[in-house]
Amino acid sequence: MAFFTAYIGTIIFVFGAVIGSFLNVLIYRLPIGMDFKKGNSICPNCEHQLYWKDLFPLFSWIFLGGKCRYCKAPISKQYPIVEALNGTFYVLAYIFLCGGEGVEGLSLKLAGYMIFFSCLIVVSWVDFKHQIIPDSMWIAILVGGLFIVGDALITGEFNKDWIIARVIGFFAVSGLFLLIGLVTRGRAMGGGDIKLIAAVGFALGWKAVLISLFMSALFGVFFTIGRKILVKTEMKGLIPFGPFLAMGSAVCAFCGEWIFNSYMSLF
């Protein structure tokens, strides 16, 4: 069984890396309003059409030495990082969130978490670069949450308390963000952050989303301090909160509810 699980895990990683290649397309095209459903992949520098031999996840970047085959311009490390990160999250979701024992871990719940993590990756890169969170991403996370709900209905995990936790999760932090946004007239909290955390709350439940808020703030503080120490410069303008929300939400998908329950047990 262990060998079969490892075999399936490897397939899931490869599948995740392939989807990660598509995520790179979204990261490039969504902010500029380019249709991701049409047209072939191109080099961002020379705009030369890329062929199948240029598009193998991870391997193409390695074999090409991180440079475009046609213009020799450097290819951003973002591409292999996103592919490897997405594949890794898929495997972690399979093992730790969905049982991860042979075919039993292959479920509607796994599909929901795959959508969840992929969208968080796109949000991180797009918001950090362009200070926007595409509506398609938080909507897709909601769809992923519905997949998780559907799996609970199939497996019998679904009950009144379970769904209430997700309904409360939808409003718990997003309501606070909405209030901050109204008071500051959108300067301290954007609409994208509000919709993102609402979708995350529905997918994870109120306990995990509360911890994700704390983790997000912690990641933001660490990033700001680390950047000031290493780069010795401060970011100009507003620092996008979306990447830190995504990081906190990804971590709390695995351990948010456990952290919450462990903390409450102290009292």
Same domain, 9 and 137: no
Q: In this predicted structure, what is the pLDDT of residue 136?
A: 96
* 87 & 120 share domain: no
Report how far residue 16's alpha carbon sits from residue 217's, in angstroms, rounded to the nearest whole number: 28
Residues paired with 42 in a beta bridge: 49
Indicate if 151 and 46 belong to the same structural domain. no
Do both 30 and 141 map to the same domain?
Answer: no
| pTM for the predicted model, two decimal places | 0.93
State how many domains the chain has: 2
Indicate whether 44 and 148 sit together in one domain: no
pLDDT at 16: 98
Range of the domain at 180: 115-267
pLDDT at position 25, please?
92
Among the three residues 73, 106, 139, which one is the final residue of a domain in this structure?
Answer: 106
Same domain, 152 and 251: yes
Q: Are residues 75 and 22 in the same domain?
A: yes
Domain boundary among 106, 128, 159: 106
One domain for residues 120 and 166: yes
The answer on 181 and 130 residing in a single domain is yes
Digitized pLDDT (tens) for each residue of the chain, 267 residues in all: 688 899 999 999 999 999 999 999 999 999 988 888 777 788 878 878 887 778 888 888 888 889 988 898 898 999 999 999 999 999 999 999 998 888 888 999 999 999 999 999 999 999 999 999 999 999 999 999 999 999 999 999 899 999 999 999 999 999 999 998 889 887 778 889 999 999 999 999 999 999 999 999 999 999 988 888 887 666 566 678 999 999 999 999 999 999 999 999 998
Are residues 94 and 120 located together in one domain of the fold?
no
pLDDT of residue 236: 61
pLDDT in tens, 177-207: 999 888 988 777 888 999 999 999 999 999 9
101 and 119 fall within a common domain: no
- Boundary (domain end) residue, out of 83, 106, 129: 106
**pLDDT value of position 237:** 60
Query: Does residue 102 share a domain with residue 121?
Result: no
